[in-house]
Amino acid sequence: MGMDTSDADDEPSGGRLRPVAGTRQGGAGQRGSHGERLLRTGLKLRHLNLLVALDDHRKLHRAAMALNLSQPAASKMLGEIEKIVGVPLFERLARGVEPTWYGEALIRRTRTVLAELGQAGEEIAALRAGEGGTVAVGSVMAPAVETVVSAIQAVRRRLPQLQVSVDVETSDVLAERLLASRLDFAIARIPNGIDPEPFDYREIGPEEACLLVRADHPLASKERVSAGDLHDQEWVLQPRGSLLRRSVEVMMRRHGVPPPTRVVVTGSILMTLVMAAKTDAIAPLAIPVAELFLSAGSFRLLRLEDPVAVEPYGLIKVKGRALSPAASVLYAAIEEEVFRPAG
C-alpha cells in the first residue's frame, strides 16, 4: 500500500519530527548503503561531541560553552552535521533544542562510539602504566553486596590497578545506562516495558527480601508476623513502581490486606535506615543488605508467615557490544561467583 511522503515535516503529538514510511523502504541492502554513505561523509569527532552536548544541555549556548565554542560556531557546526546526514536532527524551540527521532537515533549510536573511544584511551593508559583498566558495572542492591564486592576482590589480585565504578540503582535506570554505553554490564532485571531484544541476559536467581525494623518495634517480638499485622503500620519505601515495593504490595494483597498508606518514600538506603532506626517505620530490604546492619543489635527482621518474593535477576550486557579486556575479566569473575557448582 503506497503512502504520500510529501509531508516530510509532519509532527506527532510530542512535537518531534518523525520519519515517514517512504524513508524506510528498500530493505536491508538500502539501509546498509545509507550507513556506508554516512561513514564517508566526513562526520568528525567534534561533530559527535556537539551532538552529545546538545542532547545533555538542550540549549545551544550551554552546549557551546561545554565545548569551549562560541554560540555562532556551534550553530554553524550543527548546520554542517544536518547537511551531512541529510535530515533535521534537532528542533529549534523557544526554550532550547529538542532531538528529532532522527537525532535520537544518531545520538544513541554516537554515545556508544564516544564511550568506546574513551575506554580505548583508558585501556591504553592503563597498559602503559602496568596492569589495570577501567570497568563500569551496575547492580541492583542484593548482588552489589553479595557478588560484586567478592568479584572485585578476586580480580584485583590479578589486576591491582583495576579501576571499577559501581552504580547501585533500580533495574530501569541500569537498563537505560547500559543502552547509553554508560555501563559495561549490569546485574539486574530487564524491566517491563523495555524491549529485551538488545540485551544478552543470563538469569542468576531470585532476590531474597525481608522487612527490617528497630529492635524495640511493636512487631519485633512476635513469633510470626502475618500480612494482617502489617496493616496500618508506618513504612519507608522505595518510589512507587519499584520492584521491592511492588513485591510487598503483592504479598499484602494476596492476603486481602490493602497496600501501605502511611509511607515515607525514598531511594536512599541511608534515609531508609535512619527512618527504621528512629521511628516505627518498616523497611523492606534485600536480605544481604539487611544482614550488614543486624550485628550491632539495633535492628530486627520480622518473622513473616508469607515471605516477600522478588523476581529473579541476572547478568545483562548489550548484544554485539564487545566488553573491554578489563570488563571481560570482571564479568568472568562474577560468572564464576554466581554460577559455580555448590560445594
| Percent share of the chain, pLDDT over 90 | 56
Task: Provide the pLDDT for residue 216.
Answer: 95
In this prediction, residues 158-179 reach a mean pLDDT of: 89
For residue range 206-219, list pLDDT tens digits in order: 888 999 999 999 99
pLDDT at 36: 60
CB 298 within 8 A of CB 292: no
210 to 88, 205, 278, 283, 290: CA distances (angstroms): 51, 16, 19, 8, 8
CB-CB contact of 209 with 244 (8 Å): yes
- The answer on pLDDT for 192 being more than 90 is no
Three cell numbers written together for 323? 566488553
Q: Is the pLDDT of residue 5 over 80?
A: no
3-state secondary structure of 207: strand
d(CA 271, CA 341): 38
What is the CATH T-level fold of the domain 115-205+312-339, as seen in this structure?
D-Maltodextrin-Binding Protein; domain 2 (3.40.190)
Write out the three cell numbers for 227: 500480612
Q: Give CATH for domain 21-112.
A: 1.10.10.10
Banded model confidence at residue 47, pLDDT cuts 50, 70, 90? very high
Residue 127: pLDDT over 70: no
CA distances 155 to 126, 148, 152, 244, Å, are 15, 11, 5, 30
What digits encode the pLDDT tens for the residues 51-89? 999 999 999 999 999 999 999 999 999 999 998 888 999
pLDDT at 160: 83
In the predicted model, what is the mean pLDDT of the chain?
A: 85
pTM: 0.62
- pLDDT higher than 80, residue 141: yes
DSSP letter (8 states) at residue 225: B
The Cα–Cα gap between 51 and 46 comes to: 9
For residue range 79-126, what is the model confidence (pLDDT) as tens digits?
999 988 889 999 999 889 999 999 998 998 888 888 878 777 776 766
What ranges do the domains of the chain cover? 21-112, 115-205+312-339, 208-310
Q: With CA atoms as reference, report the closest residue to 169 among 141, 146, 148.
A: 141
Residue whose C-alpha is closest to residue 15's, from 105, 88, 109: 88
Dist. CA 142–CA 120, nearest whole Å: 31
20-33 per-position pLDDT tens digit = 444 444 444 444 55
Q: How many beta carbons lie within 10 A of that of residue 208, not counting itself? A: 15
Question: What DSSP letter does each residue of 102-151 carry, written as one string?
Answer: HHHHHHHHHHHHHHHHHHHHHHHHHHHHSSEEEEEEEE-HHHIIIIIHHH
The secondary structure element, H or E, covering residue 263 is strand 262-265
The answer to whether the CB of 273 falls within 8 A of the CB of 248 is no
The third-level CATH classification (topology) of the domain covering 208-310 is D-Maltodextrin-Binding Protein; domain 2 (3.40.190)
Check if 21-112 and 115-205+312-339 are the same fold.
Answer: no
pLDDT at 296 > cutoff 90:
no
